[in-house]
Structure 1
C-alpha cells in the first residue's frame, strides 16, 4: 500500500514545485522590467515572493540563470504559437502575412517593448544579459522562420538562397514600422490596422526579392 502511494506523493510534490517555479518566474519577469537588470537582486525577488533567498537559489542559483529562465519561458510559448502559423501546406504569402502580423504583435506588446528597451539600456554594462536575450529570443525565432523558409525553397516556392538571411530580412522588414516607432516613443501604442499594413508591406517586399525567377 505504501508503494502504491509513493508515485502519487511524488507527483504532487513535483506539481507543487512546478507551480512554485512558475510563480517565481512570473514575479521575476515583472521585477526585471520594473527595476532593470542592474536594479534586480535575488534578495529583492525573494522579498517580493515572501520567502528566503535560499529557497529562491534552490530553484535558480544565479540572477543570470533566473533571467534566462524568464526569457526562455516567454520565448518558448511564442515559438509554439508561431510554429502553428507556419503551415507548409497553406498558401505561402498568406502564411507569411499571418506570421508577420503575429511577430509584430508580439514584439510591440508593452512587455516586449519594455524588455527591448532594457536590453538596449543595460546590454553594454551587462553583456551576459544581452547574450542571453539574443540566444533565447531573436536567434531561436529566426531559426524557426529559417527552417520554414528553407522548406519553401525546397518546394520551389522561393528561390534558393540562405534561409537564415531570408528569415533575417523578413523579420527586419516586420520590425521597421510600428515596432521601431514604439521603441523610439514616436507612438504610444500599436495600431492593429497599421500592423496589418506593416505585414503586407514586409511580405510584398520579401516575395519580390525571393520569388523564383522563370526563364522565358
Structure 2
C-alpha cells in the first residue's frame, strides 16, 4: 500500500495576484536596502503597499520568506546572464573573462553594493540573512560556475582540484576590490571590470590550465 500523501497541485497566481506580489517585493526591496533587515517589518510595509495584514501574510509567511523573494528578485537577471555566458560555446579563457566581467559589474552596481552592505551589516545579528543570501544567490552562482569548470576538467583543459573549490577561488579573487568599493576607497562604477576580469582569469589559468 502506498502511504505517500499526494501534494495538492500549486495553482498559478492570477495576473492580479502576481502584480500584487511584485508590488510587495518591490516595496520590501527598497526597505531592506535603504533601512536594513532589522528595521524592515512586515506590518511597516503596509504603509507602502496598502491592504491588510492578512493579505500580506497570505503572500509571505515570514520576513525571512519575503527577504528570500527580494534576493531572488535582485539576482534573477544576473544569474540568467551568467548562465547564458557559461552555456554559450566558446574559448574557455574568453568565457571565464565574460563571467568575471559580469560578476564585477554586478558587484559594483548600486543595488549590488547596497546588497553586500546589507549582508555584511546584518548577518552577524540575523544569521538567516547570510544563509538566505547564500542559498538564493552566492551558492547558486558558485554551483553554475563549478559545473562549467567540471566540464573543462573532464575535457582535459583544467587540472582537477575540485570544481567547487576552484569556482570559489575565482570568485573570491574579486573580494579585495569589492571591499575597497564598500569602504569608499574606490568608486563603485565598474569601469575597471574588463581589466580586473582578465587579470584574475590569467591568474586562475596559470594555476589550473593544462597544456594542449
Structure 1-normalised TM-score?
A: 0.88
2:105 and 2:190 in contact (8 A); partners too? no
- Counting only pairs closer than 5 Å after superposition, residues 69-148 of structure 1 correspond to structure 2 as 69-87=69-87, 89-148=89-148
- Residue from 198, 202, 205 that aligns with 2:203: 205
Contact 1:159–1:210 under 8 Å retained in 2 = yes
Query: Partner residue of 2:8?
Result: none
Query: Counterparts of 1:67 and 1:173 in 2: how far apart (Å)?
Result: 27
Counterpart-to-counterpart distance in 2, 1:199 and 1:141: 16
The runs of 4+ residues in structure 1 deviating greater than 3 Å are none
Shift in Å at residue 129 of structure 1? 1.4
Q: What's the counterpart of residue 181 of structure 2?
A: 182
Correspondences of 1:17-32 after superposition (within 5 Å): 17-32=17-32
Q: Following the alignment from structure 1 to structure 2, what is the Cα–Cα distance between the partners of residues 84 and 183? A: 28
Structure 1 residue 88, shift from structure 2 partner: 5.6
Q: What's the C-alpha RMSD, in Å, of the aligned pairs?
A: 1.7
Asked if the contact 2:68–2:132 (Cα under 8 Å) also holds between the matched residues in 1, the reply is yes
Aligned to 1:196: 194
Unmatched 5+ stretches in structure 2 = 1-10
**Count of residue correspondences:** 202
Contact 2:153–2:159 (CA under 8 A) maintained in structure 1: yes
More helix by share: 1
Structure 1 unaligned regions, length at least 5: 1-9
Choose 1 or 2 for highest CA Rg: 1
CA distance in 2, matches of 1:100, 1:184: 21
